[in-house]
Structure 1
């Protein structure tokens, strides 16, 4: 059965263009098109699509409000289309907080280097989200530490709850029940689709005196990473900043890899140093989890705790393999709590990760392992 898609945009031309692309894929079927958020809310209830593509700026009802209402009434996976501007970044992050699962640039030339690749990526993202199920928000205990920010994902909401698959005998405990006692010098976290919300859920639980530097690699455009770092910094007790070349890493500070660049870590001084370089055109991911993880394996060896969160593809697997060979600890997010079980699956199936941990338990597990539990 084809994945049913609802397309929402106030531009008739853009609705038709996206509809043509979606319908080219035999696994996808456009079941409706809406010109504003209010129509989207009504048509979602009537048509029960498997996935929605949603514009942000629309008349009558904007996309962020529509996402929030859909998630309250008929929860459905939503892919946002966004402009690659500072304001577009902030609006997209608001939409993700409200419950959207993923986003793509609205200009197709910004999605990929050629038209065919852009079409394939859009179809791939819609297919991946269309296979997920979401449920109504449930109570959580995360409390933002330095902000009264309350839209979307608040201290009492979680817009995405994936169905728990049948238990599998994977030969590892779901959550480590006690700390290994191993000393660490660095925490690495790599993620992609679903990562902004996952990182917020984890990092808002960290105390200001978390004992190690934290390095974050999130697949995200260059226009988005400054706004995302600023948002995390406003919500967390730890400091969060977009990394710059030459940053001396400090305990209790998280360094977000800049979009469109590659970030590496070097052994220098007490805690190490950040190196940021331009990514070459042939690299699929900028930033790349593999590149950052590989540099950490060289610089810090086994003194690293590494986590792979929700995301499409397999970025991070080879870097994690190098880290494990050096004696580092590798964990993955479990399938049930992932928006897309791609990157965590890659390290799990390869036997690289030692534990598959639900998102709700990840912060607690990291703090325990880091000596702060």
Structure 2
């Protein structure tokens, strides 16, 4: 099956570059291009592409406005191209909240060290988004709220000393949906591993901190792990835990250079298992790939509890599917259930 793509960017050079890269794959057809957001809206209505690649800063209409309008009229998976700057991070987070599925750095050197590998990664991302044909995370979260809880969830109330969450594609919006449901008196610390570039995690943590009752910050080396606080693993680094004299602190390091994900959920989950054992509750949300599965396996061996997000509410059912299909998930939950169920399990 051929994936039909609309390429949107105000730079003719960049449009031609993306078209050339995508059409090197016989399973991808670029059905059109657009130079601004208004043209993009018109082309989506006319061509009905499977995926749209979208720039953020464009004349006539910017990419964020275009995404919002596309989602309201012709919902289509949108992959944003972003600059890895603080301003780029803010704009990309705005685009994700508007309904974009995922993003990639506009500079290919930031995607992978090898140019050919970067091109392959772009094509794979296009296929993954198109295969899922998922609605954007913002719409999934909204529509899921109307669905009743269909199954009881047995929780071990008050026995969890830490909550560890892993997410990737679709994660920023999903995490906001979960964490904003947690009250200020939430009894456990929360550790979050979201696949995200180093320049994005400070802006992401600051945005969540404004939205949540809990204190949210990007984790720093030596931070104490305390109840009522959410620590976000820094992009490009690994977050593990150290226990000394009854206190648990965060260790932030470069980690194994051979690891594909930085931060990596498997690394953090494994460390959580070592420190908290069966008193940990892990949650795997929407995302591409299988990061978190092996860490969940380690957690389960220590007696910990693992939950995963269901397919219907996931933007990309990769990471949670890997955990569920491995038989490691104690409960499979819809996104709208997770926050309230966490409060019930952990307590306030």
| Residue matched to 1:45 | 45
Q: Report the CA distance between 1:179 and its aligned residue.
A: 2.5
Return closer, same or farther for 1:135/1:277 CA change in 2, 3 Å cut-off.
Answer: closer
Q: Report the CA distance between 1:174 and its aligned residue.
A: 6.9
Determine if contact 1:266/1:296 at 8 Å carries over to the other structure: no
Show the 5 A alignment for 1:143-182: 158-160=138-140, 175-181=151-157
Q: TM-score, normalised by structure 1?
A: 0.88
Structure 2: give runs of 5+ residues left out of the alignment: none
Determine if contact 1:54/1:80 at 8 Å carries over to the other structure: yes
Determine if contact 1:133/1:163 at 8 Å carries over to the other structure: no
For 2:254 and 2:346, the matched residues in 1 are separated by 32
Return closer, same or farther for 1:41/1:269 CA change in 2, 3 Å cut-off.
Answer: farther
| Residue matched to 1:340 | 316
| Residue matched to 2:194 | 218
User: 2:329 pairs with 353, 358, 373, which one?
Assistant: 353
Answering whether residue 89 of structure 2 is matched by residue 113 of structure 1, we say no
Determine if contact 1:175/1:355 at 8 Å carries over to the other structure: no
| Residue matched to 2:9 | 9
| Residue matched to 2:79 | 79
Q: Report the CA distance between 1:135 and its aligned residue.
A: 5.5
For 1:211 and 1:189, the matched residues in 2 are separated by 16
Structure 1: give runs of 5+ residues left out of the alignment: 137-152, 165-172
SS in 2 for 1:337: coil
Show the 5 A alignment for 1:53-132: 53-132=53-132
For 1:206 and 1:130, the matched residues in 2 are separated by 33
Determine if contact 2:141/2:335 at 8 Å carries over to the other structure: no
User: 1:316 pairs with 277, 286, 292, which one?
Assistant: 292
Q: Report the CA distance between 1:24 and its aligned residue.
A: 1.9
For 1:186 and 1:194, the matched residues in 2 are separated by 23
| Residue matched to 1:304 | 280
User: 2:249 pairs with 273, 297, 302, which one?
Assistant: 273
| Residue matched to 2:341 | 365
The C-alpha deviation readout for 1:246-282, integer Å capped at 9, x for no partner, is 0011101000000010000122455511110013432
RMSD value over aligned CA atoms? 1.9
Q: TM-score, normalised by structure 2?
A: 0.95
The C-alpha deviation readout for 1:334-365, integer Å capped at 9, x for no partner, is 11111111111111111111111111111112
SS in 1 for 2:79: strand
Q: Report the CA distance between 1:22 and its aligned residue.
A: 1.3
For 2:141 and 2:239, the matched residues in 1 are separated by 32
The structure with the largest helix share of the pair is 2
For 1:3 and 1:15, the matched residues in 2 are separated by 17
Number of equivalent positions? 344
For 2:64 and 2:311, the matched residues in 1 are separated by 27
| Residue matched to 1:169 | none
Return closer, same or farther for 1:228/1:161 CA change in 2, 3 Å cut-off.
Answer: closer
| Residue matched to 1:250 | 226
